[in-house]
Amino acid sequence: AFPSLRTDSSLIQFNRQLKRCDFDLAAWRKSVEPRASPDLRRGFQLLDLDEEMGWELLTSMVRYKARQRISAKGALAHPYFNREGLLGLSFMQNFRLQLLRATQQDYSEAAKWIINLMAKSGTEKEGGFTEAQLQEIR
């Protein structure tokens, strides 16, 4: 939402401003919005769409205390990413997001399967890998 905050010097300045506001994004916004550049104004407008859903997500991610921050999983499940329309994800972005979520959920099952398969390697009756197959994989 704020392309001008992508440079190192801009991020350093942003962090200083945020520190002066006790790491409160709402207070930071209140202090910079009246004299904001057009770039910052557009960013605020974008975050305020859909009943300020983007702003709510941003403030839940940027919290001084880690235990008060939204988790990555929670952020990906936030309605900001599920809405259709202007802030909605494209079909491919939504597909990737769903795949990522499924991968995270199935990770432990997949890991167990791989570990079990590797443990069985070399045993023909279990359908495991032969030594030659393992060498071929390397």
pLDDT of residue 100 exceeding 90, the answer is: no
Give the model confidence (pLDDT) of 15-57 as tens digits. Answer: 999 999 998 999 999 999 999 998 899 889 888 887 888 899 9
pLDDT of residue 86 exceeding 50, the answer is: no
Containing H/E element for 36? none
**Burial of 131 from C-beta contacts in 10 A (0-12 / 13-18 / 19+):** exposed
Of the two residues 70 and 79, the one the predictor is more confident about is 70
* Mean local confidence (pLDDT), 87-103: 62
Three-state secondary-structure class, residue 131: helix
Q: How many CA atoms lie within 13 A of 114 on its CB side?
A: 6
Q: What is the Cα–Cα distance from 96 to 98, expressed in whole angstroms?
A: 5
